[in-house]
Structures are given as C-alpha cells and as structure tokens.
C-alpha cells in the first residue's frame, strides 16, 4: 500500500480537515507502517498560488501547518512529510500530464466552477489546471490509496481518468506507467458542514470564523462557537431518519458521532427528545477534550521554525528519491529524449 494525500497551507486546520482527512492520515500512517507500506503527506503550497495570496503569509502558514499536522499525530519518522515546492517533480509531471488531460474534463470540475464563479476570464490558469497538478501529486508516487474528504472525490476521479488515458495512449497493457489510486473517504465525517449554514461545507475560505472550529481555538472560543451554531427549534429525534431535512442538527450530531466513535443512532439514543440547550454543551465539552491536547502540542511546536523546516527538508529529500523512477518512465513513454 502506498498512501498519498495533501492539504493546502492556506490557513488554520479546521475540524472538517481533521475529521474528513487528517485523522485518517494518522490512522493509515500506523496501519501502513505495520504492513511494510509507505505514507506520504504534503503541503500543497503550489496549489495555494492558484488564488490571490500574500507570500509572507503563505510561508508562515506552511510552517504552521507542519506544526498542526505533527500535533495531530503525523510522525515524520513514520510518514514522509514535505511541501510540494521542494519536490520539483510534482510540477514537472503536471506538465507532462497536461498533454493527456482534456479541457472538457477540467471544465466540469465543480471546484473550478465554484472558485472561478462568473469571472472565468479573470481566473488564473493555475486554478483551471489545479486538478492536473493534483493528479501529478498522487500518480508521481504510484499511490494506491488517497485519504480525503468527500469534496476531493471528483479530483481523484479525474486523476484516475488521466492515469488511464495515459496508460492506454503511451504504455502497453502489461507495463502501465501509472497506478490507478482509490480514494478513502470516511463515511462518518465525509463532509463536515459550516456551523452557520448546514448547506455549505466547513471551509477555510468562509469569511466568518464562527462558521468553523479551528484546531487552534481555545476552550472558550469552542464553547462559544458551538453555543452560537445555527440549529432549529425542534428537539433531537431518537433515530437517524428524524434528522432528514434538518441539515444543521444532522451536522452537529454527525460531529458528535465522529468525535466520540459512536454511531449517529447511538448518539440519538442518548440525546433523543432533548433540546439543543442540553446537546450543545455536551458537544462543546467533547470537542474541547479531543482538541485540547492537539492544541497544546501545536503551541509547543509552532515557534521552532528551524525544527519545522528540518522536517520539510528531510521529507522532501525522501520524496524526491521516490519520485524519480516514475518521472523517468513518463518522459520515456512520451518519447522525450534526455541524453
């Protein structure tokens, strides 16, 4: 098994990232190490320049994100932890895959449509070709599994399409260049929603900080955000079916279930018939108890810039080594002469 996944260093880690992806990264890191496989986790800093950004903030966020990932349990001795910018093979492979990816495929990507909005002419080319770089990220390492939240599923399907077309066009059936990666999406936390709007995903780009729980929020902030979270006037139902048509309630119960390790039905068996006045403090306390140790570790790590840089440097050296054979095969398959 080879696990590969990435996160954009565009701000704090939030609960959606943690429950949708990072918690699985940690779990898979241990499973894979036990089975003799390998896990690679990276900061998608090259993706981050597809939107307007402030260079000094990107550098600071990149280091903070390393501290946050280590605080969550990513162990640089077990996983290869690095940033794309120190592994030029990602950008190189993207260019080689640009010959295979089709305009029509990229035009259908919902992230492109959402982020470019009505102003497509003014969007960066990087935003349009973003999914090709994402395909390069995983294909470069022959990833077998990619742990992500639901919102990345379409990008991974595209990575498979690109791999398949490249293999068909440029490789023989018994010696494909690329492995087709499978997404791993946690059923219980595939899509954590905003605390202010049950129809929008929890996101770093939401202008309201009240819409998300950041892994760096202190206990008071977490309790406040949960208390102010949007709900409806009904008490909680006793069974899952009763959450239908109640997106905010379903989201809060889902977060409780994912954090406690209980099923939604058993959370509702405990809280069915209760109002949010009772449920919200219980959820707030659960969040605080799970996030406080991560927060404490993060605060310890984040000031040591040279230690964080050393983690990225060492991880990037290992990643570059793993990247070379696939990149060489890709150049050769395309008929590109390199001396």
**Selected binder of ligand TYM within 2, 3, 6, 327 (CB under 6 A):** 6
Nearest to 139 by CA among 100, 172, 102: 100
- Determine if 201 is a binding residue for ligand TYM (CB under 6 A): yes
Nearest to 130 by CA among 150, 163, 166, 105: 105
Instruction: Compute CA distances 75 → 66, 164, 215, 309, whole Å.
Output: 11, 33, 18, 15
- Determine if 202 is a binding residue for ligand TYM (CB under 6 A): yes
**Selected binder of ligand TYM within 45, 64, 137, 248 (CB under 6 A):** 137
Beta bridge partners of 3: 39, 145
CB-based contacts of 196: which residues, under 8 Å, 6+ apart?
206, 208, 210, 211, 229, 230
Q: How far apart are CA 86 and CA 96, in angstroms?
A: 19
Q: Which is nearer to ligand TYM, 125 or 175 (CB)?
A: 125
**Selected binder of ligand TYM within 2, 23, 47, 225 (CB under 6 A):** 47
Q: Which is nearer to ligand TYM, 88 or 337 (CB)?
A: 88
Beta bridge partners of 183: 146
- What backbone torsions phi and psi does residue 5 show, to the nearest 5 degrees? -155, 160
- Determine if 138 is a binding residue for ligand TYM (CB under 6 A): yes
Residues 225 to 244: which contact ligand TYM by CB under 6 A?
Answer: none
Segment near ligand TYM (CB under 6 A), from 1-9, 250-258, 281-289, 316-324?
Answer: 1-9
Segment near ligand TYM (CB under 6 A), from 196-204, 217-225, 243-251, 309-317?
Answer: 196-204
- Determine if 284 is a binding residue for ligand TYM (CB under 6 A): no
Scored b (16 or more CB within 10 A) or e, 60-76 reads ebbbbbbbbbbbbbbeb
* Gyration radius (Cα) of the chain, Å: 21
**Selected binder of ligand TYM within 50, 129, 152, 211 (CB under 6 A):** 152
Q: Which of 27, 204, 318, 329 is catalytic?
A: 204
115 in catalytic set: yes
In the complex, the residues that contact ligand TYM under the rule CB under 6 A are 5-8, 16-17, 20-21, 44, 47, 134, 137-138, 146, 148-149, 151-152, 191-192, 201-203
Question: What are the catalytic residues?
Answer: 115, 201, 204
């Amino acid at each position: 098994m080879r696990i590969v996944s990435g996160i954009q260093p565009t701000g704090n880690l939030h609960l959606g990232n943690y429950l949708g992806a990072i918690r699985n990264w940690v779990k898979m890191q241990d499973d894979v190490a036990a089975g003799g496989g390998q896990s690679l986790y990276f900061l998608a800093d090259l993706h981050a320049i597809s939107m307007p950004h402030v260079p000094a903030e990107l550098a600071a966020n990149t280091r903070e994100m390393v501290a946050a990932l280590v605080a969550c349990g990513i162990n640089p001795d077990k996983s290869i932890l690095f940033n794309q910018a120190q592994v030029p093979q990602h950008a190189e492979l993207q260019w080689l895959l640009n010959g295979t990816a089709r305009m029509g495929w990229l035009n259908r990507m919902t992230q492109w449509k959402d982020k470019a909005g009505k102003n497509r002419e003014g969007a960066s080319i990087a935003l349009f070709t973003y999914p090709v770089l994402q395909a390069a990220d995983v294909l470069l390492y022959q990833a077998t599994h990619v742990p992500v939240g639901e919102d990345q599923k379409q990008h991974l399907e595209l990575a498979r399409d690109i791999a398949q077309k490249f293999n068909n066009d440029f490789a023989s059936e018994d010696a494909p260049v690329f492995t087709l990666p499978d997404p791993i999406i946690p059923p219980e936390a595939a899509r954590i929603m905003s605390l202010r709007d049950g129809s929008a995903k929890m996101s770093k780009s939401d202008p309201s900080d009240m819409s998300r729980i950041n892994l760096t929020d202190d206990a008071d902030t977490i309790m406040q955000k949960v208390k102010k979270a949007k709900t409806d006037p009904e008490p909680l139902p006793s069974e899952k079916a009763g959450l239908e048509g109640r997106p905010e309630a379903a989201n809060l119960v889902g977060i409780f279930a994912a954090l406690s390790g209980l099923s939604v039905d058993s959370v509702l068996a405990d809280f069915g018939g209760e109002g949010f006045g009772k449920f919200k403090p219980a959820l707030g306390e659960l969040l605080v108890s799970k996030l406080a140790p991560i927060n404490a570790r993060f605060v310890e790590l984040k000031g040591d810039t040279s230690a964080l840089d050393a983690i990225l440097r060492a991880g990037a050296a290992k990643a570059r080594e793993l990247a070379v054979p696939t990149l060489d095969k890709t150049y050769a398959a395309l008929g590109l002469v390199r001396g």
